[in-house]
Structure 1
Amino acid sequence: MPPKVPILLLKTRSSPNDSYDDFFNAKNYIPSFIPVLEHRFNKTNLSQVRNLFVSGAFTQKSNANPTANTNEDIQWYGGMIFTSQRAVEGFANMIEQEGLPLDPKSTSSLILYTVGPATARSLTTLRDAHLPGATIYGAEAGTGENLAHMMLKHYNTIYPSSSSTSTPKPALLFLVGEQRRDIIPKTLMSDTLPLDERITVEEIVVYETGEMDSFEKDFQGSVQRYENDGHGEIWVVVFSPSGCEAMLRVLGLGPFASDKGDGNKDERKVFVATIGPTTRDYLRSKFAFEADVCAEKPSPEGVAEGIQSFMAK
């Protein structure tokens, strides 16, 4: 059997399991995770989320008059939206640290919208422990755009608007990071939608993201360790534009090629793969560097197929 190939994954290892770790360990690779970003939870805003629950903002009033128009009878929020693991982690940490003293029946109408299976699994654990009766929807969506269109149909079925009632449709609370796309709010509140189909989305930032100060040093140490061990081939998988400059600087590639040679593929031992076209194009436009591989599918299998095709050439 040929020697195992080190593959440096520039991401935080997902917990409790990571599909990249599982996949590459089962293949002829040595996966190693090097976190690029650190996430800092906004405790003040998370406490505000807790206060909304405690004040009954998510509670379906059993005696609500459907034609009433008083604050006492209007349900403020019908659900929450999660499109990242970090948002779920922040919400879970807040509950574990501050508690969420609720009547189990108070969340029976709560909808938790999510964009994929990994986030759905995390939400399921959280729901079972703290939000019994809440419904999780959207695990198969895959993207924020798909989820938004699914939500329009699903939420409007649960809360149909009618000219015969003055009760407004409850809003949705979207727990987000400091940097995020706005496709979901734009889609749900689009001016092109009939008024009775629009869904109000209120965003609250629960975490901030920044490049780790130690990333460049950690990455350099990992590369040197595998080079010193005599590995003839090392792969680096880049998952986002964050950390690209430090990565290229350590490897002496792109604008930093003069520091460590000319970056010729025939002479290099370290090769670069991107998880998709966004990061590939960023490397092209910002650093005039062409990644060796761009995965056709953003998955462990997609990365492995790209690497195998490249090495076969």
Structure 2
Amino acid sequence: MSPPILLLKTKSSPNDGYDDFFSANNYTPTFVPVLEHRFHTSNLADVRELFAAGAFGQKTNDAGPTSTNVQLPTAGTSKQYGGMIFTSQRAVEGFAQMIEEKGLPATPSIPLYTVGPATARTLSSLRDKYLPTSTIHGADTGTGENLAHMMLDHYNDLQKMATSDLNGAPKSKPGLLFLVGEQRRDIIPKTLMDPTLPEDKRINVDEIVVYETGEMDSFEKDFAECVQGCAGEEVTWVVVFSPSGCEAMLRVLKLGPFASDGSSASSKGSRRIFVATIGPTTRDHLRNKFGFEPHVCAEKPSPEGVGEGIKRFMKSR
């Protein structure tokens, strides 16, 4: 029988790379949502209006640097973008939901930047259907910082061929539109707009919040029920994707500070429950806050990275 693997995340739509990968590798994946995501429909409507207003393309005049408060462009202004950035599957899903409900009024050919193969796969499905001539970059960068440095080279190279008008006069470089969640790091805008960079190297970035996130009240109960449902299994894996929900997860499994005289849910009889993290941020959170060392930390934040870590661990036993 295929061993269960509990994935502490919301299943991505329209497809989920973790579901595909672990189903194909003789596991039975179950998704246990930790976070509740609420889309900002008014801001997503603003994104649609940017497409309708022809905001993606070369700037026609220079109105100075952009800000992080996106305003819809008016005729003759320079509020235009040469591409988009997605570092979250939720941002892609919010964008997709807006398109599915309202349609996309324009289909420009633009670079779409993303970080991590899972988000790239979700974005690819959307691109193929609605932005077929656009290109996706950054799937293997792994972190926002790596993506930002890649964009400094890649996007600037793309713009070199489009920075002069027919008379040879230089045109102002369009910025990038970054669809983000309410909670996010600012490493990408800071890196791209670093004032120490040469002016012609800097890339203006506008962020627009398209979703907000909070831990689900029902997570601990839902997770406990899933663990109970795996009671007859010899081996069960739990994959943790963010610091959110770690305390509840450890409490249910009676691990770390919640362990008591060997009676943890992970070590009853011949049964074993093992914990893997998507990367070092979540691993360090478990270490530093709870004194718990996960069994696996993926070298790459992807289904393949998690799977390879699990495979090595099981071989070592």
Q: Same fold (TM over 0.5)?
A: yes
| Residue identity in the other structure for 2:149 | H
Q: 1:259 to 1:34 in 2, by over 3 A?
A: farther
Q: Note if contact 2:118-2:302 (Cα within 8 Å) is conserved in structure 1.
A: no
Shift of 1:183: 2.0
Q: Note if contact 1:67-1:166 (Cα within 8 Å) is conserved in structure 2.
A: no
Structure-2 separation of matches of 1:146 and 1:235: 30
Map of 1:178 onto structure 2: 182
Q: Note if contact 1:68-1:166 (Cα within 8 Å) is conserved in structure 2.
A: no
Map of 2:223 onto structure 1: 219
| Residue identity in the other structure for 1:87 | A
Q: Note if contact 2:58-2:172 (Cα within 8 Å) is conserved in structure 1.
A: no
Of all paired residues, the percent bearing the same amino acid is 68
Which segments of 5 or more consecutive residues in structure 2 lack a partner in the other structure?
A: 65-73
Q: Note if contact 2:220-2:252 (Cα within 8 Å) is conserved in structure 1.
A: yes
Shift of 1:266: 8.1
Pick aligned residue for 1:249 from 241, 248, 251: 251
What does residue range 1-313 of structure 1 map to in structure 2 within 5 Å? 3-60=1-58, 72=76, 74=78, 76-102=80-106, 107-108=108-109, 110-131=110-131, 133-160=133-160, 165=169, 167-227=171-231, 230-258=232-260, 261=263, 269-311=272-314, 312-313=316-317
| Residue identity in the other structure for 1:236 | V
Can you list the C-alpha shifts for 1:214-271, whole angstroms capped at 9, x where unaligned? 21111101111221xx223322221211111111111122222239836896866323
Structure-2 separation of matches of 1:150 and 1:78: 16
Structure-1 separation of matches of 2:148 and 2:298: 26
How many residues were matched structurally? 301
Shift of 1:58: 2.0
Structure-2 separation of matches of 1:262 and 1:95: 47
Q: Note if contact 1:60-1:75 (Cα within 8 Å) is conserved in structure 2.
A: no
Q: 1:131 to 1:281 in 2, by over 3 A?
A: closer
Q: Note if contact 2:265-2:273 (Cα within 8 Å) is conserved in structure 1.
A: no
| Residue identity in the other structure for 1:246 | A
Structure-2 separation of matches of 1:68 and 1:244: 46
Shift of 1:48: 1.4
Q: TM-score, normalised by structure 2?
A: 0.80
